[in-house]
Structure formats: C-alpha cells, structure tokens
Amino acid sequence: MKALCWQGTNKVEVERVNDPVILNPRDGIVRITRTAICGSDLHLYDGYIPTMEPGDVLGHEFMGEVVDTGREVNRVKKGDRVVVPFTIACGQCHFCKHDLWSACDNTNPNAWMMEKMYGYSGSGLFGYSHMMGGYAGGQAQFVRVPFIDVGALKVPDGLDDEQVLFLSDIFPTGYMAAENCDIKPGDVVAIWGCGPVGQFTIRSAFLLGAERVIAIDRFHERLKMARAGGAEIINYDEVEDLLAELKWMTGGRGPDACIDAVGLEAHGTGVAAAYDYAKQRMKLSFDRPTVLRQVIQACKKGGVVSIPGVYGGVLDKIPFGAAFGKGLTFRMGQTQMQKYTERLLKHVQQGDIDPSFVITHRFSLDDAPEAYRMFRDKRDQCVKVVLDPWATPKAA
Amino acid sequence: MTITTNLAEKHGGKPFSRRPATSKLETALTLAAGAAISVYGVLRRDWFGAAFAGGGGYLLYSGMSDLRRPYQGRARVAFTIAKSPQEVYDFVRNPQNWGRSLREPMFEHNDDGQVTLRLGEKHGLDFKSRVELTDEKPGEYIAWASEDQRFEHRGVVHFKKAPGDRGTEISVALEYKAPTGPITHSLASLAGLNPEQLLREGLRQIKQLMEAGEIPTTVGQPVGARGLRATAKRVLYHERPAAEMQPQRMAGD
Ligand SMILES: NC(=O)c1ccc[n+]([C@@H]2O[C@H](COP(=O)([O-])OP(=O)(O)OC[C@H]3O[C@@H](n4cnc5c(N)ncnc54)[C@H](O)[C@@H]3O)[C@@H](O)[C@H]2O)c1
Ligand SMILES: [Zn+2]
Ligand SMILES: [Zn+2]
C-alpha cells in the first residue's frame, strides 16, 4: 500500500510499504477513506518530538471501512464505517474505566521509554513517535487499529466522511479544552491560536454556554473563521500589548479561563522569544512556551488555564509565581478521546455543528509532502488539509 | 549497595556465597566505556542523548567505585492489576501462563515440576537458572531462591489488595549476585537488560494479559525505508526486520 513516511526533519515521503495485518486478537484493519494533517503532525515535521525515526508511518486523524478483524473483536464488524480516535485504549484498565483513556496502562509497547522521561507512560498513539508506542499511522491506504472495539466509532448513515472525520481528534480536543474551563453563565473565555484546534475550541466553548469568546492569532483567514464561529478577535500582531488589550476587553477582570491552543511552536517576538528560538535551535529544549507564559499572566484570579497545545520537555521561565499568586487551576493533556466521541457525534447529528467548516484544502495522499509544507507555512490561506488516499495526484 | 530487606532469613532461602573481587581490567574497561558513552550522549543533545550521558556517567561512577566489590544487587518492582488478589495469584501460579503467553517469560516450568528463571531470551541472551520455591501462602505471597551458584538470586512475590476499586498490588522484591562483573552489568543496564527492567517488563506483561487480554505490539506492522541509523535502533524499539516477522502467539492458540 501507499503510506506517508517521516524521513527526517522537514522531510516526508509517500512510500510503498507492506499492507498491515492482524497482529493481536483485538486488532482490526481499516481501509482508509479520509485522513487529515494535524497541527501535532507539524511538531513531528519540524523535528521537535523525540524518538521519531525514518520510515515511521505518519497520521492519527483518519476514518474508513473495517476490512478485517481479529478473533477477539466483537462489537465492530467487517464493512462497518468507522472513525478511529487517536488514543489507543484497552477499555479495561483502571484509567480506561475512569474515562482517562489517554492514560491507558496497556497500549504502549514502549512504555519504558516514556516512564524514563515522564515517570509514567500514557496510552499508545497512532503515528506519533516510538516513545508514544511506535504505532504506524493512518496517512496511508490501510491501518491496523489495536483494540478496535474500544476505539472505533461507528458512523450512522447519512453523514459524509468530512462531517465526522474530525471526531478522530480535533473536535474532541477542542471540546475537552473548553470543558476543562468549567464554563459558567457569564464566563469570558480567551483562546490563543485559531488553528483547527482553536476553531473547535471556540465553537465548543459556546456549546458549553460561554458568554463571550475572545480568539487570538495573527492570520487573517483564521481570525475570520473564528469570527464566523461567534468569537471576538484580536490580531496580536496589530496590538501593542496583548495583556492590556485583554484587560481592556474584560472590564479589567481578565478572562475567566484562558486556553493555550498553540503549544510548543508558538510564534513570538521580543527578547524572551528570541531566547526560546535560540535554545530550540541548539536542541537545548523542545518547547517555546511564549503562549503558556501569556495565558498564565492574562488569566483572572482563581481562573482556569486549559492547555490542549502540546508540550514535550522541560519549560523555561514559566511565571509560576503569578499562577500561585492568583490561585490558578491548570488542566491539560492528550485528549480523553473515547469519553467524547459519542457525545459529539450527537451534536453533529442534531446539526449543532458541521465540523467540515474547517476544511480549506483537499489533496490526494501523493500530494501530502506539498500539503505539509503549505499547512506548516500557512500558505494559500490553509487552515485544515484533508487527504484522500485513493485519489490520483493533482500534481501529475 | 546495601540490601535492607534480607529475604533469605524471612523466606527460608540460603545466604549468598562469597565471590572474588572485580579485576583491574574490568575497572579500566568500565571507565573507558563510560567516557565513550557520555561523549556520545553529550553530542546527541536530545533526550536520548541525555539518557546516554546519564548512563555513561553511571558507568564512570561504577568504574571508580566498584573496585573491590563483588557484584550484588537488588530490584523492586510493583504493579497494580485490576483483578482480585486470588485471580492474580492464580494467574502467576499457573505454569501454563509462564512460558507460553509471556513474551519474555520470567519463569519456565517443565514436566517434572522443575522451575527455571529465564531472562533476556528476546535479546539473544538466553539466561537460565534453576529455582526452588522456599515459601508460599496462597493468595498472599510466593518466595523463591536459586538452586545453583552461577547466578544466585532469591525473591518474593506479594499479592495485596489495592485500595478502593484498584485491584491488586503485585510486587516483586529480588536480590541477586550477578554472574558477570560490573561492566557487563552496566552495559546491559543501558540496553534495558538489567534485572529490574526485565522484572518490570515481565510484570507489565502479566498485567496486560490479565487486563487487556493481549500484549501490545508493533512487531510486523508496515514501515517505510528505515535508513542506517534507524535500523541500528531497531533493538531499542523491539522491532524486527520483515523476514522475521510473525504474528504473536497467544495462550490457547
Ligand atoms: N491535546 C491533544 O490531545 C491535542 C490534539 C490535537 C492537537 N493538539 C495540539 O494543539 C495545538 C494546535 O493544533 P492545530 O492543529 O490547531 O495547529 P496549527 O499549527 O494549525 O495552529 C496553531 C495556531 O496558533 C497560532 N499561534 C502561533 N503563535 C501564536 C501566539 N504567540 N499567539 C497566538 N496564536 C499563535 C498560529 O498562527 C496558528 O494559527 C498543537 O500544539 C497540537 O499539537 C493537541
Ligand atoms: Zn491531531
Ligand atoms: Zn486501558
């Protein structure tokens, strides 16, 4: 089959690889009909996630048709149309039973690596480094899905691929980011980053009853999309002092909750940012926590800082005194996918949201290397790319 | 290293024999290997580099400190399994589950009731040692000691109800006197072959089999062109070339 493989920093290639086969009794094989590129993939592309190796198959946002199942698979059947969440979970450990699916104890074959770095290991993830399990991902024509009964969400008839594809990651991720803010009537939520995750966070905050949402980015097309979702917007490139602006917009209180939907590759200017860039370039750190510093500083007293943006290592110059002084609550982590998929599918079915709004580009799998560049450089007003692994390439 | 819990007295095991001290050559080699690994680690400048630098530092340290000491160590590992203590005990006590279902069997059981501790087979290092059960209380603990003097070890597995609905805490405390000197031991540690890591992986597999019904794996999945460096790292990721790939065999197959 064809699969998109990581071949080093800034280098991805479509290669011919073996078709996946059932390896364990609870596995299933899915023929992929649609797959997407995520902001998280950009961290791999840019070389900031350790334990990626040349030849690793990328992709963790995908859906398709079940074509084979292991002998312990009961719920999912051949022919089912399914969306697969990016966190692989066993469904039976203490964490799975307490809705902490991305903390599953039993799905990371390389748990020891993550234990060495983080103390304990999270669940395995598709296409996201050896430390996170080393599972081949879904920017390919087929994928092996371990514990398919636990993960796969069956798609009811009448919904297009593009309406449900993002239940594999970014819709639940945005939703959990908003839910983590304990939104109460009257709350003002500020969201840094209007990428795909930010867009779903904005809409989820409203679904959960936020009074106002303030969205922050510097790309016009992304800010426009945020405004279409009901948010007030700030172009941080055009304001002198972002924190003063936020204070001004919230009657001097500050936002009740601040969400970092940017993560470790935050864009920044000034001395602190220059220092972060330099450290990252010298491989002394993996993270540029510009936005994390800002959300802590901006958040109101007793407020919540919610962090869906990914961080990897040891962060520098975090204003922890401000966090302590204001008594902030921190919530973060890989999304507890299986907790949200059914609930959010209902929202899609009821027409509360059509997740396909975020798609700006459609390519064949063969065009993926070009699509990665375009998405990374935010060229051509690109917000979200969807790939069809069976289409003929545009470039030909 | 001081052993604080003397398992031998508690569980009827024998005390360890006396063993000759480490040679000067071994010490020199340890120092050299430690220095080389530290340099490699520092040059790599990523998390793995840091781990290597740390490992190299450990070798340097052990090279300097292990001059005249016989190699004796201990390992303690605990896991919580979402099953009752009796279920976990029964699973561990059932010889059927030892050799057949664990990918890295800790114990093997032959037909005449003989128990063998087996380590490192997966890494091309088949280590065997005969074991005698010295003490046991069903549902609570099992203690063992080695029968021969090549690799002396003794230990105890405890099964204890975990608080709330968390299941069972299974813990293994192991004391050993390594058959090889500190260099081999330290180098093996870097490759994840030290007794503690092997013990941890063994217990992890018991947990995975009991909770999830299978041991997660990626062996045999599709991969693209690996290139030289990533091919070298396949050992680290427990990956095998396509020719050797075969689906995992499970209990009951
Ligand atoms: N927690 C999870 O499980 C999970 C799941 C999916 C994605 N993520 C993470 O969420 C983050 C966003 O993902 P995405 O797909 O939207 O990525 P993206 O790269 O498309 O979006 C990031 C956005 O942040 C903006 N940005 C950069 N610097 C900024 C700054 N200083 N202030 C305000 N905005 C700034 C960029 O302009 C961009 O629009 C990534 O870190 C990704 O890894 C996490
Ligand atoms: Zn994603
Ligand atoms: Zn689990």
The string of pLDDT tens digits covering residues A2-61 is 999 999 999 999 999 999 999 999 999 999 999 999 999 999 999 999 999 999 999 999
Distance CA A271, CA A109 (A): 41
Q: Closest partner residue to B221 among A54, A116, A144, by Cβ?
A: A144
pLDDT at residue A274 greater than cutoff 70: yes
Q: Mind telling me how many Å the CA of A332 is from chain B's nearest CA?
A: 22
Instruction: From A262, A341, A375, give the residue whose CB has the most ligand 1 atoms within 8 Å, as the site to mutate.
Output: A262
- Which range is least confidently modeled, A101-105, B108-112, B247-251? B247-251
Element (H, E) at A170: helix A170-179
Distance CA B173, CA B5 (A): 9
- Which range is least confidently modeled, A46-50, B176-180, B181-185? B181-185
Question: Which range in A269-283, B14-28, B64-78, B235-249 is most confidently predicted, on average pLDDT?
Answer: A269-283
| Stretch 61-90 of chain A: residues touching chain B, C-beta under 8 Å | 72, 88, 90
Element (H, E) at B239: none
* Per-residue pLDDT at A367: 97
Return the higher-pLDDT residue of A296 and B150.
Answer: A296
Here the tokens at position A117 are 């770095």
Q: Place B213 in a pLDDT band, splitting at 50, 70 and 90.
A: very high
* Per-residue pLDDT at B63: 58
pLDDT at residue A84 greater than cutoff 90: yes
* Per-residue pLDDT at B249: 37
Q: Place B73 in a pLDDT band, splitting at 50, 70 and 90.
A: confident
Which domains, and CATH codes, for chain A? Answer: 2-169+335-388 (3.90.180.10), 174-332 (3.40.50.720)
* Per-residue pLDDT at B158: 95
Closest CA to A120 of A134, A108, A136, A137: A108
Residue linked to tokens 């104890």: A105
Distance CA A119, CA A117 (A): 6
Q: What value does the mean pLDDT take over residues A107-119? A: 92
Interface of chain B toward chain A, CB-CB under 8 angstroms: 45-48, 51, 80, 82, 165-167, 192, 197, 200-201, 204, 207-208, 211-227, 229-230, 233, 236-239, 242, 247-248, 250
- Which range is least confidently modeled, A80-89, A96-105, B146-155? B146-155
pLDDT at residue B244 greater than cutoff 50: no
Q: Place A127 in a pLDDT band, splitting at 50, 70 and 90.
A: very high
pLDDT at residue A339 greater than cutoff 60: yes
pLDDT at residue A218 greater than cutoff 60: yes
CA distance readout (Å), A222 to A178, A193, A196, A236, B190: 19, 9, 9, 13, 47
Q: What value does the mean pLDDT take over residues A187-205? A: 98
Q: Could you report the per-residue pLDDT of A44-80, keeping only the tens digit for each?
A: 999 999 999 999 999 999 999 999 999 999 999 999 9
Say if pTM beats, i.e. exceeds, 0.90.
no
Q: Place B68 in a pLDDT band, splitting at 50, 70 and 90.
A: very low
Of all residues in chain B, the percent with pLDDT exceeding 90 is 23
Helix (H, G, I), strand (E, B) or coil at A326: helix
- Which range is least confidently modeled, A45-54, A352-361, B196-205, B242-251? B242-251
Chain mean pLDDT for chain B: 72
* Per-residue pLDDT at B192: 54
Question: Which range in A330-334, B53-57, B241-245 is most confidently predicted, on average pLDDT?
Answer: A330-334
What single-letter DSSP state applies at residue A140?
Answer: B
Q: Which amino acid is at B80?
A: T
* Per-residue pLDDT at B199: 83
Q: Place A170 in a pLDDT band, splitting at 50, 70 and 90.
A: very high
pLDDT at residue A188 greater than cutoff 50: yes
Predicted ipTM? 0.93
Return the higher-pLDDT residue of B143 and A60.
Answer: A60
pLDDT at residue A371 greater than cutoff 60: yes
Of all residues in chain B, the percent with pLDDT exceeding 70 is 46
CA-CA-CA-CA dihedral for B86, B90, B91, B92, to nearest 10 = 100
Distance CA A281, CA A291 (A): 18
pLDDT at residue A304 greater than cutoff 70: yes
Beta strand extents in B122-235 (DSSP E only): 127-137, 141-146, 152-161, 168-177
Q: Which amino acid is at A64?
A: G
pLDDT at residue B231 greater than cutoff 90: no
Element (H, E) at A82: strand A81-84
Q: Place B251 in a pLDDT band, splitting at 50, 70 and 90.
A: very low
Distance CA B30, CA A65 (A): 55
Q: Tell which of B44, B46, B47 to mutate to test the A interface (max A CBs under 10 Å).
A: B47
In this structure, what are the phi and psi dihedrals at residue A315, rounded to the nearest 5 degrees? Answer: -95, 150
* Per-residue pLDDT at B130: 78
Q: Tell me the β-bridge partners of B172.
A: B77, B157
pLDDT at residue B23 greater than cutoff 70: no
Q: Which amino acid is at A129?
A: S
Cβ pair A272, A264 in contact under 8 A: no
Distance CA A195, CA A206 (A): 17
Return the higher-pLDDT residue of B238 and A388.
Answer: A388
Helices (H), chain B: 7-11, 24-44, 47-65, 85-93, 96-99, 182-190, 195-212, 227-232
Distance CA B151, CA B128 (A): 9
Q: Tell me the β-bridge partners of A88.
A: A124
CA angle A75, A136, B100 (to 5 degrees): 65
pLDDT at residue B153 greater than cutoff 90: no
Query: Where in chain B are the domains?
Result: 7-17+72-212, 24-68
Chain mean pLDDT for chain A: 96
Query: Ligand 1 pocket: which residues have CB below 6 Å?
Result: A 38-40, 42-43, 169-170, 173, 192-198, 216-219, 222, 236, 261-263, 266-268, 290-291, 308-310, 334-335
Domain B7-17+72-212 grouped into CATH 3.40.50.11690: no
**Which residues are CB-neighbours of A138 under 8 A, at least 6 positions away?**
A30, A32, A35, A59, A60, A61, A62, A84, A126, A127
Distance CA A169, CA A159 (A): 18
* Per-residue pLDDT at A394: 73
- Partners of B190 on chain A (C-beta within 8 Å) are none
Q: Place A192 in a pLDDT band, splitting at 50, 70 and 90.
A: very high
Q: What value does the mean pLDDT take over residues B109-125? A: 63
